[in-house]
Amino acid sequence: MDFISKMERKFGRFAIPNLTAWLIGVYAVGYLIYYLANPLLYYLYLEPYMIFHYGQVWRLVTWIFTPPSASNIFVVLIMMLFYYSIGTNLENTWGAFRYNLYLIGGMLFTLIGAIVMYFALGQPVLLGGYFSTYYINTSIFLAFAVLYPNMQVLLYFIIPIKIKWLAYLYGAYLIYDIITANIVGKVAIVVSMLNFLIFFLLVLKRKKSGIYGNYKSYNSQRARRDFKRDFNKRFNEGSFGGNTGSFNRGRQQVTKHKCAICGRTENDGDELEFRFCSKCNGNYEYCQDHLFTHVHRK
């Protein structure tokens, strides 16, 4: 069992469910301030100088209210709906705890980066324009693109395009920003994207070790064919355990998790992870190999 799984078992009950909705609500408040009381927006920025010299400790939290981008109200609504959709999908895929860890981790990296940068510069400089939630939102999108690269969206509600091509465009734009930004801007981008970089490295590691396989295969016809062939083979061989059994026949042991398709439990490997499906009618739990390939039970 990996470190994050151990943390989830110990602290998972403290995870905030539907965190994306809370984040969108925070952005909505920030946009209201932007449009109705714009001068107040400055007092929300993450400014370490104001925190340490004037005791404005609320800035440690209120910078999250700063809108990631300012545009007309129509674009803002579309942006919030889009991020609500991908954020909710990420939470359904990972579970509330891991999504909390990813999102809040990005915020903590940004906060720490701003404070470290302030002391490293050694002079009273304002950093609020650099450290914001903009790149944290980008990290949410890129994580979604890694998990669902072939999902298609309508660009400007007209042009069908796969998520992965938008991710490549975002990546190129990030590289351009890093190259052209000053030292403060470079640090702000890197620390805000650290959560995604860690996640991406973990994905590569798990792909090489075969723990999760290729994320693309969840939506591919080949994965469904392999699943059906494997399921039929095991069903015909009678290799599924009973109510308290596991993947190996004849093994009778009460377990905490059990896949409703293949019957594997946590005793069949520390690398296995289990999730309940919110679309199935009933409490059906699946392993990572069958979470995205099973037929929903109504």
Residue 188 lies in a domain: yes
The answer on 188 and 54 residing in a single domain is: yes
Nearest Cα residue to 151 out of 220, 225, 93, 211: 220
Number of domains the chain is built from: 2
The answer on 155 and 43 residing in a single domain is: yes
Q: CA-to-CA distance for 26 and 184, rounded, in angstroms?
A: 26
Residue 298 lies in a domain: no
Q: What is the pLDDT of residues 12-36, one digit of tens each?
A: 888 888 899 999 999 889 888 888 8
Burial of 282 (0-12, 13-18, 19+ CB in 10 A): exposed
Say which range, 59-63, 70-74, 257-261, has the weakest mean pLDDT.
70-74
Residue span of the structural domain in which 122 resides: 3-209
Give residue 234's pLDDT. 60
Give residue 229's pLDDT. 66
Indicate the residue among 157, 176, 209 that finishes a domain: 209
The whole-number average pLDDT for the span 274-297 is 79
Give residue 220's pLDDT. 46
Residue 294 lies in a domain: no
Q: What is the pLDDT of residues 237-279, one digit of tens each?
A: 555 444 444 444 444 556 778 888 888 888 887 777 888 887 7
Q: Which residue has the higher pLDDT, 279 or 188?
A: 188
DSSP class of residue 154?
Answer: E
Indicate the residue among 178, 209, 240 that finishes a domain: 209
Percent helix, strand and coil across the chain, each to the nearest 5: 60, 5, 35
Is pLDDT at 7 greater than 50 in this prediction? yes
Is pLDDT at 207 greater than 80 in this prediction? no
* Predicted TM-score of the model (pTM): 0.67
Residues 6+ apart with CB under 8 A from 106: 136, 139, 192, 193, 194, 195, 196
The answer on 165 and 228 residing in a single domain is: no
The whole-number average pLDDT for the span 143-166 is 83
Indicate the residue among 209, 229, 261 that finishes a domain: 209
**Tally of CB atoms within 10 A around 100:** 20
Nearest Cα residue to 102 out of 233, 214, 202, 227: 202
Give residue 57's pLDDT. 93
User: What's the gap between Cα 275 and its chain centre?
Assistant: 16
